[in-house]
A and B are shown apart, each in its own frame.
Chain A
Amino acid sequence: MTSEPHMNDHNPSNDPIWEQAVRWVLQQQEDRMDVDDWEAFSAWLEQDPAHGQCYDQVVEADADLETMAAKNSGPETNPEPQVPANTKHKTPGAANDNRSWWAGFGAIAAVLIAAIVFWPGQSGPEYALMETAPGEVRTVAIGPSITMTMNGNSELAVNETGKTIRMISGEASFAVTSDIPGAIRVEVADLMLVDVGTVFNVIRDDGEMRLAVTDGAVMVNPDEQRIMVEAGTEIRMQLDNLSYTSRPVSSESVLAWQDGQLVFENRSLASVIADIERILATKITVPDELSGQRLTGTLNLANEEAVVMADLAAVLEGTARKNGDIWIISN
């Protein structure tokens, strides 16, 4: 009898420790953990090292399950995606649809993505509007696993519950600490960006979006074109026809703005000026003969606007002066 001390370990269908570990994960999943629950959870973990080991396994299993679901959310596995035009997924009849949902594990997930686009959240989406002043850099937590940093002169709407960000204008970077794809969704006009374990930067400018990925990857429009942008890459995409170009980028230059720096490597003068205008909400003109020039360098945008303009003029070997609301660089 004593030679079989761990029967339960080999019989997972009857393992109270495993079941309790699953219960803790489920309870966190539902956001039903109050302070007493966390303390009870601490006490349970303290009781026996096996509790924690078992819980770790459930956490991994949970990530597996969600990844499976996310993977199968694509249109390929789902020949007839039933994107609902008018049905809510919580209608009582929904239970009858489950059979077809499972057919490939896909349709329901397609519904999920559609749900986020069309009805972001069930009990009325709550979007908090966040704006930064010209030149201001601001870091915001979105739930416990997402950090968003906004560049100056930017406007975003944040739905914390749905982990959805609407990019209205400007620039922001997102750092996600989750290994589940889809922890955050960023909407830029009709485009949808979904993280794949990621740090990425998004700029919305007149009619175009620039997406630079420094870590992990980002999926653009997971339910349509399914374009995967990988680390070390920037794409510049037109918002009307989705045409795009790509180039390699370094994470230092992409995220330098978080320290008030604008770093440019072999960029056209016009695009550098467009960045300065966007971040500082100002207007700059340069002589025509300079506009084709390509620049490499760094500007400190945390300085006074006049200093930034003098620095820019110095890079161009010219001088800066202000005429009304417009900065004029001349040589």
Chain B
Amino acid sequence: MDQRHSGLLSVFEENRQPLLRFLMARTRDAALAEDLLQNVWIKIRDLEHAQPVENPLAYLFKSCENAVRDAKRSAARKLARETLWAEQVDVHVGGGQNNLTPEKIAMERDNLRAVLAELEKMPERTRAIFLDFRLQEIPQKEIADQYAISISAVEKHLQRAYRVIREYREKMEKDDAGGAGP
């Protein structure tokens, strides 16, 4: 057995409590938390790693967070994201319709399109900073240096990008609640 991966397993065993505490706090569902922890353990047991894991416990927390995100993810929204991205396709090979209801996916897709339109209205610099951070994965500190602004100013720009989405989603929910009434 590979040493790297048996190392990760023993770190897991030693830190079962904090990991479970995190999953409990994150899901507020004891049974789900236990299940997810078990899934993470199985994954670690079965896998070797392409490269050594630098900080094993932080890696395990991150794995737990990913497991939660997977479990909570809305299938319709996931598919809407995928298919929206996939619209720019020159050739489609194979594939039938997906089995989620087309209405739900179409609705999510329209929502995403509308969010994009909202993002287009963002101030120039906010967009640029967001793209640097999220797409180019440039750390906030480097962005701050590049633009000669403070790190907290960089964060304000990033906060604004997330807020655009939130405000839009909230508006949509309100409209839905109003429009779908009997």
Contacts and interface: CB of A to CB of B under 8 A. Distances in A.
B177 to A, nearest CB: 14
Contact of A102 (B59, B127, B142): B127
B82 A160 contact: no
Contacts of A226: 88-91
Interface in B14-66: 18, 21-22, 25-26, 28, 43, 46-51, 55, 57-59, 61-63, 65-66
A35 B128 contact: no
Contacts of B22: 38-39, 41-42, 45
Given A18-B166, A33-B58, A70 B85 contact: yes
A228 B22 CA distance: 38
Contacts of B106: none
Contacts of B9: none
Nearest to A157: B50
B58 A34 contact: yes
A326 interface: no
Interface in B88-141: 88-96, 112, 115-116, 119-120, 124-125, 127-128, 130-140
* Interface of B: prevailing SS: helix
A17 to B, nearest CB: 12
Interface string A212-230: 0100110100000111111
B50 A232 contact: no
B3 interface: no
A94 interface: yes
A156 to B, nearest CB: 9
Interface residues of A, number: 93
B147 to A, nearest CB: 6
Interface in B128-182: 128, 130-140, 142, 146-147, 155, 158-159, 161-163, 165-167, 169-170
A197 B82 CA distance: 7
A141 B58 contact: no
B48 to A, nearest CB: 6
Given A19-B159, A64-B112, A196 B51 contact: no
Nearest to B84: A71
A12 B173 CA distance: 15
Contacts of B74: 60
8 contacts: A64-B115, A98-B124, A98-B131, A105-B131, A141-B50, A217-B95, A230-B94, A246-B93
- The 6 closest A-B CB pairs, nearest first, are A230-B95, A233-B94, A98-B128, A45-B25, A141-B47, A38-B61
